[in-house]
Amino acid sequence: MDINSTFNARNLVRLEAALLAHPVAQAYFQGRLFDGYGQPLRELNIHHTEGPPLRLNAATTGRLCMIPDGSLVTATRIDDRSEAPAGVDIHYSNIFIQNGQHNSVVMYRSQSGPAMWIDALYIRNVMLAPQAPPRLTSVAFGLMAIAAYRLGFQHISLLAAGGGPLRETSEDDLIGYAVWPKLGFDAEVASVELDRFPNPALTGAATVQDVRKNAPGWWEEHGSGRTMLFQLAANSRSWSILLNYLYTALMEDAT
């Protein structure tokens, strides 16, 4: 994907500075990572089918894969028999992840990208424990999206699990269907889904973001899990939503 220098300068430079100044980034996204042997991680090399590897220093690895400082990081190649796309699975563990779980991000080649180049990310698992600091996911994903854009990735995808109605939640509840759209992820919505709980404002709505815009609260109440996508192209709808959400959140934290 081509990098739009104007979009980067007008939007991402400012956002990155604001995110890196946030207490969460100051404490947990400085690139203090460890490999599977407990040694400091200096560099992660992601090999393509052809050509030189993608070389990531520790700080970029942490931001690109939403990995907080203090995490143990390992990379494993997976094939298309898993539930995730075939590619390189970067998985990590730390004190903020639920017991018995690990979080991971898969780097892979999308069908729309160059034939030999890893150009997409799949957030395979994000399971945070109650002691995780507030805004960890928001700050981490903002840094992830910025890093992915600058490295030329096309998009970020995930399975947003769970379904409405959204109520008071516990550690084991799956609420990704409601959380990830706030950060700019989108997916198609079938008209038959909307017809189950009719609302005149949803006439013509075709995506999750259409539903959220036209009938606020409907998706949290009646939505359901599905694969969702964040489009990394400059000035995409995904970026517009994420920028607005993060600046609002950062201003709230500053007051």
Please give the average per-residue pLDDT across 85-103, as a whole number: 89
Residue 62: C-alpha distances to residues 1, 43, 50, 67, 101 (Å): 22, 11, 25, 4, 18
Cα(79)–Cα(110) distance, rounded to whole angstroms?
Answer: 14
Residue pair 36/74 in contact (Cβ under 8 Å)? The answer is yes
3 state SS of 224: strand
Q: Residue 40: name the closest of 57, 65, 23 by CA.
A: 57
Q: What is the DSSP pairing of strand 155-163 with strand 224-231?
A: antiparallel
User: Per-residue pLDDT for 38 more than 70?
Assistant: yes
Closest to 83 in 3D by CA, of 116, 115, 47, 108? 108
**Percentage above 90 pLDDT, the chain:** 73
The burial of 130, by beta-carbon neighbours within 10 Å (0-12 exposed, 13-18 middle, 19 or more buried), is given as: exposed
pTM over 0.95: no
Q: Name every residue whose Cβ is closer than 8 Å to that of residue 46 and which is 6 or more positions away in sequence.
A: 53, 54, 56, 75, 88, 107, 118
Residue type, 51: G
**Are 229 and 110 spatial neighbours (Cβ–Cβ below 8 Å)?**
no
User: Among candidates 102, 98, 97, which has minimal Cα distance to 75?
Assistant: 102
pLDDT in tens, 108-133: 988 755 555 789 999 998 888 889 99
Handedness of CA 69, 73, 79, 81 (dihedral sign): negative
Q: Residue 4: what pLDDT?
A: 93
pLDDT in tens, 163-210: 888 765 544 457 899 999 999 999 999 999 999 999 999 999 999 999
pLDDT at residue 19, rounded to an integer: 96
CA distance 45 to 129: 29
Classify residue 79 by burial, with Cβ atoms within 10 Å: 0-12, 13-18, 19+: exposed
